[in-house]
Homo-oligomer: A and B are copies of this chain.
Amino acid sequence: MKHAMNQKPDYEKELRKAGVRITRPRRIILDILTSTEDHPDAMKIFHRATQIDDSISLSTVYRTMNLLEELGAIHRHAFNGGPSRFEQAHGEHHDHLIDVDTGAVIEFKSDKIEKLQEEIARSLGYDIVHHRLELYCRKSEPST
């Protein structure tokens, strides 16, 4: 299984191209996003950000997440009722299995499913821009 290089996408360039200003708060938030492996929620990002610059406001975190989502730079996950959690969109696409009891998130990828999705979309006259597949699960009871 190949693993996407965790290379930092050049968000600043992307954002400039989209006519968005590179401000100090945005730079900090982007750094946090590119250097994390998990799926932090807005509050977590906010806390990490304030350790670098404690003048950053929570509103700005939310505004930036919305901005990045619109630009397709990150993905938002609304796992069962809890607060939205975010993940950078660059690397290789993967889907999620969410443990409904613990909230744990497992990433997986199935080429077969991706293929089927393509087929379905095509048969309906569409091309897939992106997709979201989330399996809400519970640990299997071992038959012992």
State whether the Cβ of A129 lies closer than 8 Å to any Cβ in chain B: yes
State whether the Cβ of A135 lies closer than 8 Å to any Cβ in chain B: yes
Once A117-B135, A121-B137 are accepted as A-B contacts, the answer to whether A129 and B100 lie under 8 Å apart by CB is yes
Within 8 Å by CB of A132, from B122, B133, B137, lies: B133
The oligomer's copy count stands at 2
Using an 8 Å CB-CB cutoff, how does the interface string of A100-144 with B read, 1 for contact, 0 for none?
Answer: 100000101010110011001111111111111111111110000
CB distance from A100 to the nearest CB of B (A): 5
A99 to B97 alpha-carbon distance, docked (Å): 25
Q: Is the beta-carbon distance between B137 and A108 smaller than 8 angstroms?
A: no
Could you say which residues of chain B place their CB within 8 Å of the CB of A138? Answer: 126-127, 129
CB distance from A120 to the nearest CB of B (A): 6
Q: Is the beta-carbon distance between A124 and B106 smaller than 8 angstroms?
A: yes
A106 to B110 alpha-carbon distance, docked (Å): 23
Once A81-B66, A131-B134, A133-B133 are accepted as A-B contacts, the answer to whether A124 and B97 lie under 8 Å apart by CB is yes
The 16 listed contacts between A and B (C-beta, < 8 Å) are A1-B124, A108-B120, A116-B116, A117-B133, A120-B135, A125-B139, A126-B139, A126-B140, A129-B136, A129-B137, A130-B136, A131-B133, A131-B134, A132-B132, A132-B133, A132-B136
Which A positions have Cβ atoms within 8 angstroms of B? 1, 66, 81, 97, 99-100, 106, 108, 110, 112-113, 116-117, 120-140
